[in-house]
Amino acid sequence: MTLPKKRMKKLELPLTRLRDGERGVIISINASSSHRRRRHHRKWGFQKRLEDMGLTPGTKVTVVKSAPFHGPIELQVRGSRLAIGRGMAERILVSVER
Amino acid sequence: MTKKQIIIALAGNANVGKSVIFNHLTGMHQHIGNWPGKTVERAEGTLHFKGYTINIVDLPGIYSLSTFSIEELISREYIAIENPDLVINVVDASVLERNLFFTLQLIELETPMIVALNQMDMAKKKGIKIDHKKLEKALGVPVIPTVAPSRVGIYDLLQASVNIIEKGKVAPSKVRYGEEVEEKILELINLVGRLRLPYPARWVAIKLLEGEEQIEGKIRQMNPKILSAARRLAEEIEGIHGHSCSTVITSERYEIAGCIAREVQQIVSPIKPPKRERLHGLTTHKLLGYPIMAAVILSIFFGIFSFGDCTSGLLSDIFYGLEPVFENVLGTGIVGELLWGGVVEGLIAGITIALPYLLPFYSVLYFLEDSGYLSRVAFLMDNLMHKIGLHGKAFIPVILGFGCNVPACLGCRIMETKRERLIAVFVVTLVPCAATTVIILGLVGAFVGVQWALLLYAVDLLIIFALGRVAFKALPGEPTGLIMEMHDYKVPHAKTIVKQTLFRLEEFIKMAFPLIIAGSFVIKLVDVLNLLEPIADALSPVTVGWLGLPAITGITLIFGVLRKELTLIMLATLLETSNFAAVPGFGPVQMMVFTLVAMLYIPCISTIGALVKELGWKKALLITVFEIIFAIVIGGIAYRILLLASIW
């Protein structure tokens, strides 16, 4: 019995942990880190904004690069190029294969 | 033939070439104002086509019709309530999927519409081929391919618009969601169908499922039972999908947009990465991006200041050369003096700001914006702006503020929410503008030392950071981060830039000129009535007692309200010398304190005008009063510190 030399593992990471050029699939967006609101109708804020810009669960995103000094992240999503502030990107959970 | 009136609205994402199309359609017959009660720009224009008088309304560039930003709300209410005869949805062919997401929302509003498939040339360069006939079928609305800068398709657009209006409504395809969502929509349509709402029932049903607050509020007033039914249905969907209902709907809508996009476009990748891709890489580069940005901004400032300095000197020479002529006509009596010193000098002051500085400023700004560079700057500076509670987009108005606070305040409109706008405007009024730089360099730089001038700048930046943070913490509401599309670099359309610049200039003239003229008239009147000395005496507890300045500075600080550099000019006039070092009782300490106060104490009258326009009277007054008190407090503290330090 031999182990495969290179095993691809599925990881769940915040978008900020992706390496430059890496691609992942959005799992979820955490609405508010401090006090999560359960009710669906109370989250018309930044989450709605992200979704309107095309960052919905199931979407493939590629991290192109992040700006230095913990700056925003450049993404390739739905055929367009987006810049997302780091604070927001941290709340986007993606799954990647490594 | 009878003249018929039609109203057409232009809607679409930001940076899709909407304003270029607007300019081609309306030519010189344009009018830019604000939406009633809002600080969002409303551009309107008219044209005549085949016997119709067509009014075109250019809606703000947005990505969605939800109510996240004021622009989105305005656009939605305009389309739904004011019912334009037709909406032209301008779509960027090179980013089809994202743009179609917005198109689908327009279709859901059930407004008669056509699609202008713009930037076909950009799409082609990117290797994207679009079958517009197929798109037309998929959407159920006419699709006209256009290349706005070279007028391709503009005539067809008008022809198609008139066709639709003459033939009556077209039937756009329904945006169909998943089975379980559709079920709930139908259930809700039955409930809301009986209400008298200005929106289509299906649209209201979808919005209720999404939990959109505006619509929920309206329904709550009419029939709260419907609202609880909607919430129950939404929770059912949530149970099925494991995501909130609004997420599910947005997701599916994007999925539909993606499907259509994939169906109608064919991607043949270009052979080598095009130039603008490399330019993008370079200008957002981790190391090179910053020096490039610094070089661009510094050269712009240097260019504009040298141009402005030279031109404004020339203009004042010409205008002041007219003084003897003027005196001959009106005499040197009180009336003549009031008219010249009050009205004409105010006018000159306005012109020497507007033409030499604002004109080049605005044109460069629009050039950078249209080309796409500003969004790269926002990307690079996002982190720094977060330190003062703002995000990358705010860097642009802040940088503008170093030139002139007025366009900077108006530029804060790019911030999405009211809260962000308020913080940005407040920060901008603290930025030392060109006139403040004249005082800092002309007084402290020349008579105390350049290092001290730089220290004052550093102090100002520190104050900006500190107060920005305080405002960030103190103001209610959720802070928003940066979410921005960085569209591809493109060559800006010259005519559109010229038009935008001229409109901005007109806006400034209308807003600031009356204020500057009225202000200088009042001050001249006070002068003629010999009230300056008593006022200076009245202010002396503050100026002399607390700030340790000569009493005369009270007068100059009042003049500075008109234009900040007048503090220095008036100081020279009143002291009858421009060699300030020779004035007794006005040493380096006084110069430092005076400059510090002049730098902080009040936004000039034009800026106050801009504040009123952007924030309303109350907040403008609040900021003004706060900054006066703040400047006096800081000035007094600085005076005591400098005395203790006894450097000089």
pLDDT tens for B235-258 read: 999 999 989 999 999 999 999 999
| Inter-chain touch A49–B483, beta carbons under 8 Å | yes
Determine which of B248, B284, B487 to mutate to test the interface with A (most A C-beta atoms within 10 Å).
B284
Share of chain A above pLDDT 70, in %: 79
A48-62, A67-81, B324-338, B357-371: least confidently modelled range: B324-338
Q: Which of B251, B379, B391 sits opposite A74 (nearest CB)?
A: B379
The reported pLDDT for the residue numbered B272 is 65
Q: How far off is chain B from A6, nearest CA to CA, in Å?
A: 32
Backbone φ and ψ of B155, nearest 5°: -65, -45
- Give the E-state strand segments of B313-406 in sequence order: none
Q: What is the predicted ipTM?
A: 0.87
> Are A79 and B247 within 8 A, CB to CB?
no
Residue A4: band (very low, low, confident or very high) from pLDDT cuts 50, 70, 90: low
For residue A58, give the chain B residue with the closest CA: B251
Are B120 and B147 a contacting pair, CB within 8 Å? Answer: yes
Tell me whether residues B392 and A54 touch, CB distance under 8 A.
no
CA B25/CA B155 separation, integer angstroms? 9
Q: Which of A43, A53, A88 sits opposite B63 (nearest CB)?
A: A53
Name which of A32, A50, A74 is nearest B483 (Cβ-Cβ).
Answer: A50
Instruction: Give pLDDT, residue B354.
Output: 82
Separation between Cα atoms, residue B357 and residue B366, nearest integer Å:
14
Residues in chain A closer than 8 A to B249 (CB atoms): none
Burial of residue B168 (number of CB atoms within 10 Å: 0-12, 13-18, 19+): exposed
Most A-contacting residue of B16, B97, B247, B264 (CB-CB within 10 A), to test interface? B247
Cross-chain Cβ contact A87/B380 below 8 Å: no
What's the confidence (pLDDT) of residue B173? 87
Contacts of A45 in chain B (CB under 8 A): 68, 478, 480
Nearest to B217 by CA among B323, B73, B320, B120: B73
Interface of A with B (CB under 8 A): 28-29, 32, 40-54, 56-59, 65, 67-72, 74, 78-88
CB contact (8 A) between residue A83 and residue B386: no
| A93, A25 contact by CB (below 8 A) | no
Chain B residues with CB under 8 Å of A61 CB are none
* pLDDT number for residue A6: 64
A81/B485 Cβ within 8 A: yes
- The Cα-based distances of B100 to B93, B125, B306 in angstroms read 10, 20, 46
Cβ distance of B231 and A41 shorter than 8 Å? yes
Place of tokens 């192109």: A64
Q: Where does the pLDDT of residue A34 fall: very low under 50, low under 70, confident under 90, or very high at 90 and above?
A: very low
Minimum mean pLDDT among A9-23, A70-84, B338-352, B434-448: which range? B338-352
Mean pLDDT of chain A: 82
Of A51, A80, A88, the CB nearest to B485: A80
Closest chain A residue to B96, measured at CA: A79
pLDDT of residue B466: 92
A40: closest CA among B161, B213, B371, B454?
B213
Sign of the CA dihedral with B586 first, then B589, B590, and B594 last: positive
Contacts of B286 in chain A (CB under 8 A): 65, 67-68
Q: Which residue of A has its CA nearest to B234?
A: A40
- Indicate yes or no: CB of B483 within 8 angstroms of CB of A68: no
Contact A51 B246 (CB under 8 A): yes
Contact B247 A57 (CB under 8 A): yes
Q: Chain A closest CA to B151's CA: distance in Å?
A: 25
Indicate yes or no: CB of A83 within 8 angstroms of CB of B486: yes
Tell me whether residues B261 and A79 touch, CB distance under 8 A. yes
Task: Test A84 with B483 for CB contact under 8 angstroms.
Answer: yes
* Chain B interface test: which of A48, A69, A86 (most B C-beta within 10 Å): A48
Of A49, A68, A80, the CB nearest to B286: A68
Contacts of A17 (CB under 8 A, 6+ apart): none
Q: How far is CA B379 from the centre of its chain?
A: 18
pLDDT along chain B (648 residues), means of 10: 81 92 86 75 90 93 85 91 94 95 95 94 90 95 94 94 85 89 94 88 94 90 92 94 92 96 88 81 92 94 87 88 83 80 84 85 90 93 87 90 88 84 92 89 91 93 92 82 90 90 86 86 86 89 91 88 84 82 87 94 87 90 94 95 85
Q: With an 8 Å Cβ cutoff, are B483 and A86 in contact? A: no
Distance between B115 CA and the closest CA of chain A, angstroms? 20
Sort strands A10-14 and A80-84 into parallel, antiparallel or unpaired: unpaired
Sheet-wide strand order for A60-66: A10-14, A92-97, A23-29, A60-66, A73-77, A80-84, B483-485
Rounded Cα gap, residues B345 and B352, in angstroms: 10
**At A12, is the pLDDT very low, low, confident or very high (cuts 50, 70, 90)?**
very high
Question: What residue in A sits closest to B212 (Cα-Cα)?
Answer: A41
Percent of chain B at pLDDT > 70 equals 98
Task: Give yes or no for residue A3 having a pLDDT over 70.
Answer: no
Give long-range contacts, CB 8 A cutoff, 24+ apart: B624-631: B627/B429, B627/B430, B627/B600, B627/B601, B627/B602, B627/B603, B628/B601, B628/B602, B630/B600, B631/B596, B631/B597, B631/B599, B631/B600, B631/B601, B631/B602
CA distance A92 to chain B (A): 13
Q: Which of B356, B354, B350, B453 is nearest to B407 (CA)?
A: B354
Nearest to A41 among B64, B216, B392 (CB): B216
- Please, what's the b/e burial string for B481-511 (b: 16 or more CB within 10 A of its CB; e: otherwise)? bbbbbbbbbbebbeebbebbbebbbebbeeb
What per-residue confidence (pLDDT) applies to B333? 78
Q: What's the confidence (pLDDT) of residue A37?
A: 42
Cβ contact, residue pair A67, B212, below 8 Å: no
Chain B hits for A50, CB-CB cut-off 8 Å, are 483
Chain B residues in contact with A57 (beta carbon < 8 A)? 243, 247, 251
Contact between chains at A71 and B379 (C-beta distance less than 8 A): yes
